[in-house]
């Protein structure tokens, strides 16, 4: 499945700034400069990763909800336990 999100060009900068404000790119130690940090991902890589993880969380939550809704208990068995 391919998920495509289209953001109009005039809104890209605003979207990116808002997204990264809410969920900043994590930093890692710069291997070339001791004591410095660099972004672990590019902005686009990070946004894609966050969206992918969000969709997977929603999918797994929904899958779990469906599974628990299909479990039924026999009242007689529950009362006699």
In the prediction, which pLDDT does 3 show?
81
SS3 1: coil
Q: Residue 7: inside a domain, yes or no?
A: no
Q: Is the pLDDT of residue 44 over 70?
A: yes
Q: Residue 58: inside a domain, yes or no?
A: yes
Q: Residue 55: inside a domain, yes or no?
A: yes
Q: Residue 36: inside a domain, yes or no?
A: yes
Q: Residue 37: inside a domain, yes or no?
A: yes
| pTM across the whole model | 0.74
In the prediction, which pLDDT does 25 show?
98
Q: Residue 21: inside a domain, yes or no?
A: no
Its domain, for residue 33, covers 26-68
At 42, is the pLDDT very low, low, confident or very high (cuts 50, 70, 90)?
very high
How many domains is the chain partitioned into structurally?
1
CA distances from 62 to 1, 55, 58, 66 (A): 18, 11, 6, 6
In the prediction, which pLDDT does 68 show?
81
Q: Residue 31: inside a domain, yes or no?
A: yes
Q: Is the pLDDT of residue 71 over 70?
A: no
Q: Residue 74: inside a domain, yes or no?
A: no
């Amino acid at each position: 499945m391919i998920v495509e999100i289209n953001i109009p060009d005039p809104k890209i900068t605003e979207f990116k700034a808002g997204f990264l404000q809410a969920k900043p790119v994590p930093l890692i130690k710069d291997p070339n400069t001791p004591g410095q940090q660099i972004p672990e991902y590019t902005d686009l890589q990070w946004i894609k990763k966050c969206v992918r993880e969000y969709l997977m969380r929603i999918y797994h939550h929904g899958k779990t909800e469906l599974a628990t809704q299909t479990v039924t208990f026999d009242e007689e068995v529950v009362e006699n336990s």
